[in-house]
Amino acid sequence: MACGQCSSGSCGSIGTLVSGCGSGGCSSGGCNKMNSFDWLSGMNFGKPTYKVVEIKFKGGRKEYFINKQDIELHTGDFVVCEMASGYHIGHVSLQGELVRLQLLKKGIHDTSELRVIHRLATEKDLEKHTQAINRDLPTMYRTREICKELKLNLKLSEVEFQSDNSKATFYYSADDRVDFRELIKMLASEFKVRIEMRQISLRQEAGRLGGIGSCGRELCCSTWLTDFKAIPTAAARYQNLSLNPAKLSGQCGRLKCCLNYELETYIDAIRGIPAVDKPLKTEKGNATLQKTDIFRRIMWFSYPDDTNWYPIPCSQVADIQKMNAEGKKPVGLENLMELADVPEVKTASINTDLERLDKKYKKSKKKSKTGAAPKAVAPAPRPEAKAKPQAAPAPQQEGSPEAGAKNKKRRKFRKPGGGEKPKS
């Protein structure tokens, strides 16, 4: 699944090109993390090609550079890009008119401040790039040891060396402010490079490390999610989810990003449901709200000394609230609606093929249990039974006392009005 050192395949190494999958198109989706498909590449707009190119670096980081020298580039080509100090190597992830749309989306209007693409990467450049990548893991392990020695309260998640080995960026996360001036001095003297400490959030850290979520799929933050929006606890309340931090939090320790995916649908469904702040007053007693089904628009109420829950439509709940406001009370909730009258909403089954397979295998298991079990359990007939057949009972004489007793029983249980059958 991975093309280099990391599980997500975004380590920036050239192993993907060597293995033959180009810029990343594996069926597992690991090599093409955060990639965009250029669906305008085959269209001719009659305009010169847009000179700004999107370049992707290690960890899914993307930046924009100007192709001033009009170099012929293709998606997946490794290029040498200008940096604030030195140069760095990345590969082309997007070019053409779609880059213009990406710049408008990110609010970049002045392209004159963008850096320049120097040239296509040569074999020597790629060798240096590979050597720089191979330094990342040993440097990260050594830095963690130094942080323990200095007793710094920070978590180092990743190290990225620049392709020319002149600069190293350390990505870390911390709860409080950290004084790492002594750490920078020790790192600069040991690794002989410029040190840059960059703090990232816990969600960005989880996206860089990757993993499998509770849904069984790869994390959204490590595959396609780029913008991390704030997720309030109200998102769980709107969806009637239990406020259990162990179930609602992801691998980053924060609320799951997927809580926002269906939030608007739940908010639209809740708009027509009345707010029940007080118990409903009836002649039988006060009924408190126990449960609300926002899609079927039914609310369940119960009395204090009763274990039964009574389903009532939201429209009738609003009518009862109006009656209570006027000082009136209905007789009871059980007279309004019975449980059998609740309309059942049949949801469309998604995995119909899987259900058919389950039924098929269940039937085959039942047949095997009923048919094959008696054959295995039945004991073999004993040879003594064949050798000694039972003797037939002796015929009874007509004048014996046993025959007379049997005739009396037959007369006793004979049907009324039924005579003896005529002899043929």
pLDDT tens for 154-178 read: 999 999 999 999 999 999 999 888 8
Tokens 């975004």 sit on residue:
10
**Residues recorded for the chain:** 424
In angstroms, the CA 140 to CA 303 distance is: 62
- Residue 402 pLDDT exceeds 70: no
Residue 24, pLDDT above cutoff 50: no
Angle at 191 between CA 175 and CA 18, to 5 degrees: 95
For residues 119 and 314, give the distance between their C-alpha atoms in angstroms, rounded to a whole number: 68
CB 306 within 8 A of CB 290: no
More confident residue, 34 or 49: 49
Would you tell me how many other CB atoms lie within 10 Å of the CB of residue 95?
A: 22
Question: Which residues, in sequence order, are bridge partners of residue 173?
Answer: 155
Contact 71, 119 (CB under 8 A): yes
pLDDT of 215 above 80: yes
Residue 82 or residue 389, greater confidence: 82
User: What is the crossing angle of helices 181-191 and 136-150, to 10°?
Assistant: 140
| Range with lowest mean pLDDT among 154-163, 197-206, 366-375 | 366-375
Q: Sign of the C-alpha dihedral, residues 412, 414, 420, 421?
A: negative
Angle subtended by helix axes 123-134 and 136-150, to nearest 10: 30
pLDDT, residue 121, reads 95
**Residue 161, Cβ density class (10 Å: 0-12 exposed, 13-18 middle, ≥19 buried):** buried
pLDDT at 257 over 90: yes
Among 29-43, 119-133, 142-156, 352-366, whose mean pLDDT is lowest? 29-43
Confidence of residue 113 (pLDDT cuts 50, 70, 90): confident
pTM to 2 decimal places? 0.63
Window from 126-135, 228-237, 275-284, 337-346 with minimum mean pLDDT = 337-346
Asked if pLDDT for residue 374 goes beyond 70, the answer is no
- Stretch among 29-43, 86-100, 311-325 having the lowest mean pLDDT: 29-43
Listed range (38-47, 141-150, 268-277) with the worst mean pLDDT = 38-47
Alpha helices in 326-414 (DSSP H): 352-377, 383-387, 401-412
Residues 105/36, Cβ–Cβ less than 8 Å: no
Q: What is the mean pLDDT of the chain?
A: 78
Element (H, E) at 86: none
User: Which has more confidence, 412 or 112?
Assistant: 112
pLDDT of residue 358: 75
Confidence of residue 112 (pLDDT cuts 50, 70, 90): confident
Tell the residue number behind the tokens 């959204």, with chain if given. 220
Residue 14 has pLDDT above 80, yes or no: no
pLDDT score for 120: 95
412 CB-near residues (< 8 Å, 6+ apart): none
DSSP state of 259: G
Please, are residues 159 and 140 in contact by the beta-carbon 8 Å criterion? yes
